[in-house]
Amino acid sequence: MTAARILAVAVDCHQPDLLAEFWSAALGAGKTRTWTDSHGLTYRQVEFDDGPALLFQPVPEESCRQDVTDGTMLDRDRLRRALLPPLPAP
């Protein structure tokens, strides 16, 4: 069986250049790459000698959070139990 390997961690952002430069300096990364896809979007990637790269990809959304639930009642109940104290017994 072949082991899975994470190649990159993608970060949605408004300013890929700015974030790539910041994280490259903060983490002491050696090199960054820039490329433009067929839709004209420019990506920045910070590469490390070992471990996954950081990929900064442009997005138009202003949202500071994303919905990471599956929308089921189980998801809601799991979140409630994690965040709130237990309900008192009747």
Residues across the chain? 90
How many CB atoms within 10 Å of residue 67? 7
Q: Is the pLDDT of residue 78 over 70?
A: yes
CB neighbour list of residue 66: distance below 8 Å, 6 or more residues apart: 12
Q: Where are the domains of the chain?
A: 1-60
Residues 13, 32: contact at Cβ < 8 Å? no
Q: Is the pLDDT of residue 85 over 90?
A: no
pLDDT for 58: 92
Considering the chain, what is the average pLDDT of its residues?
A: 83
Interval 65-77: pLDDT, tens: 666 666 676 777 7
How far is residue 75's CA from residue 81's CA, in Å, rounded to a whole number? 10
The structure's pTM equals 0.64
Q: In the CATH hierarchy, which fold is given to the domain comprising 1-60? A: 2,3-Dihydroxybiphenyl 1,2-Dioxygenase; domain 1 (3.10.180)
